[in-house]
Amino acid sequence: MSYRPHLLGSFFHYGERWRHYRRSVESLKIEGWEFFQRSGTYQSFNDHSSAYPAFAAKVEDILRHEVDVYITEVVREKKKKEDENQG
């Protein structure tokens, strides 16, 4: 029955990853709605065409942050697995 702790660890690990992706998706969705409604950051623009460069930059920032966090997690997981295999 030694597989149970591993399964629980895997389950919670994927739960973390899911929460991370969910936050990213919600951030993108909120940004899209603000752009569509021209509210929040976009309320000072006269139309969607003039707001688009700001919207594209914000989406790129969200995606860049998501990638940075993902890469950090992968490196941390890899290091942890290497440490567990050595110990």
Task: Give the pLDDT confidence score for residue 37 in this predicted structure.
Answer: 98
Is residue 44 in a domain? Answer: yes
CA angle 43, 35, 19 (to 5 degrees): 125
pLDDT tens-digit profile of 34-56? 999 999 999 999 999 999 999 99
Torsion of CA 32, 34, 35, 37, to 10 degrees: 120
Is residue 3 in a domain? Answer: no
Range of the domain at 41: 8-86
Task: Give the pLDDT confidence score for residue 45 in this predicted structure.
Answer: 98
pLDDT tens for each residue of the chain, 87 residues long: 455 555 545 555 667 778 888 899 999 999 999 999 999 999 999 999 999 999 999 999 999 998 888 888 877 877 777 777 886
What is the count of structural domains for the chain?
Answer: 1
Is residue 64 in a domain? Answer: yes
CA angle 5, 67, 10 (to 5 degrees): 10
What are the CA-CA distances from residue 39 to residues 33, 35, 59 (Å)? Answer: 8, 7, 16
Please state whether the predicted TM-score (pTM) of the whole model is above 0.75: no
